[in-house]
Structure 1
Amino acid sequence: MKFLLTSAGISNTSIRNALVDLLGKPIAESTALFVPTAIYAIPGGTELSRKVICGSLGDSFCDLGWKSLGLLELTALPTLKPELWLPMLRETDALLIGGGDCQYLCYWMKQSGLADLLPPILAKIVYVGLSAGSMVMTRYGTTYGNHALPAETGKSLNILDFAIHPHMDHEWFPENSMAELEKLAATLPIPSYAIDDQTAIKVTADGLEVISEGHWRVFG
């Protein structure tokens, strides 16, 4: 398994170098698929998705100079024949899962069948998460509630046995202060990583490594 779980994307040289290391080759020689689904469940999501693809929202994610970049929309997959998209998924070098609403993303990962496909596929490709795209792989997720899913719908896939709290101390997210995240972490029975937008978590079969040019803290 190869995970690069970011708060805000490929925001600095250290995180970019970690991505190249996981790919085993330059980004310019690597293919990627971007999953925007999580962003639709927050206000202005469609416009935010465009900005992530174009690189005009902030830190780089899709706009890294990939050899090719495809769009994999999870809400469409249940109505498509698998042969239209499965080969593309199995052959890509990196799967880029965008941010937004964890609960909405988790639901569509399961409904689309991607959640069941991930374990064997992750043996060959690199999973790159951004915010909710990172959180959904752990045992803790959140929701903004801008959807019609039942409240009890799962918010994470529980693949990794820890929690991530992105955007620590970000001015856009006052609830993500270090003090508030410490209180939240105290309610969880698992280790919690509070990371700012200059930090990412690299997970491989060899273990976990925090990649940072900013600030982070582990609780528990």
Structure 2
Amino acid sequence: MKFLLTSGGINNKSIHDALVDMLGKPIAESNALCIPTEMYGHPWVGPRVKAWQFISGKEENPMVGLGWKSVGVLELTALPSIDENRWIPLVQETDVLLVSGGDALYLCHWMHQSGLADLLPSLNSVYVGMSAGSMVMTPKIGEYFVGWDPPGGGDETLRLVDFSIFPHLDHEMLPGNTMAAAERWAAEMQGPAYAIDDQTAIKVVDGAVEVLSEGNWRLFTP
């Protein structure tokens, strides 16, 4: 699987061009599935109007509304109650998974519960994450970002990439997300960690990591 891990969605030309390159064809010829589950676990976003905005493509941070050939909704909390033959082929055939922000640990829990976590490494599609949708791919998120408490506790996530992510660096709506805060957060991480703003994304293809940025970012190493 190829990963495009963003803080604020596909919101500049560098990130948009990278997505098209990873797809290998125009967005208008690509089929997408969007995952809104993570939004329900976060008090700021769901299940209020923001979940509807994301699914309908009316989101502030462009993802679903980019002009895809088709868009389906993959609701992870529903998957354990339906036959795998109803959804696994659909996921395997899609060109891109679009995963919005929300609560990374809630998303991780339902990725495991639904079986999607086991399926992800075998997919040939592009995974596009935003904020929590990006953080869930990392080894851990750090105590700074723990909101929803998983049944087993902790802050561990899927480990499908080998670095951690501090999103929304210097965001005007998140005054605590300063570089100094990112430095303190990174000191708790046991591996490489990136602080990225909303004009930055991290591209991972076959283990090769590339930062795409029209903004501000920093790599912290142990």
TM-score (norm 1): 0.93
- Displacement of 1:175 after TM fit? 2.1
Structure 1: gaps of 5 or more residues: none
Match of 2:105 in 1: 103
- Displacement of 1:85 after TM fit? 1.0
Q: Say if 2:59 and 2:65, in contact at 8 Å, map to a contact too.
A: no
What is the aligned-residue RMSD (CA, Å)? 1.4
Structure 2: gaps of 5 or more residues: none
Match of 1:92 in 2: 94
Match of 1:166 in 2: 167
AA aligned opposite 2:75: E
Aligned with 2:201: secondary structure?
strand
Match of 2:176 in 1: 175
Q: Describe the superposition over 1:134-178 as per-residue Cα deviations: whole angstroms up to 9, x where unpaired.
A: 000011223323x6x436155411111110111000022222111
TM-score (norm 2): 0.93
State the 4+ residue runs in structure 1 displaced beyond 6 angstroms: none
In structure 1, distance between residues paired with 2:220 and 2:158 = 21
In structure 2, distance between residues paired with 1:138 and 1:103 = 11
In structure 2, distance between residues paired with 1:177 and 1:57 = 25
AA aligned opposite 2:137: M
- Displacement of 1:54 after TM fit? 3.3
**How many positions carry a matched residue from both structures?**
216
Return closer, same or farther for 1:154/1:114 CA change in 2, 3 Å cut-off: farther
In structure 1, distance between residues paired with 2:203 and 2:98 = 14
The counterpart of 1:61, out of the listed 60, 63, 66, is 63
Tell whether 2:195 aligns with 1:194.
yes
In structure 2, distance between residues paired with 1:173 and 1:155 = 23
In structure 1, distance between residues paired with 2:218 and 2:58 = 29
Please show how residues 119-138 of structure 1 align to structure 2 within 5 Å.
119-121=121-123, 124-138=124-138
Q: Say if 1:103 and 1:153, in contact at 8 Å, map to a contact too.
A: no
Q: Say if 1:53 and 1:61, in contact at 8 Å, map to a contact too.
A: no
Percent identity of the aligned residues?
Answer: 55
Deviates more, 1:102-111 or 1:204-213: 204-213
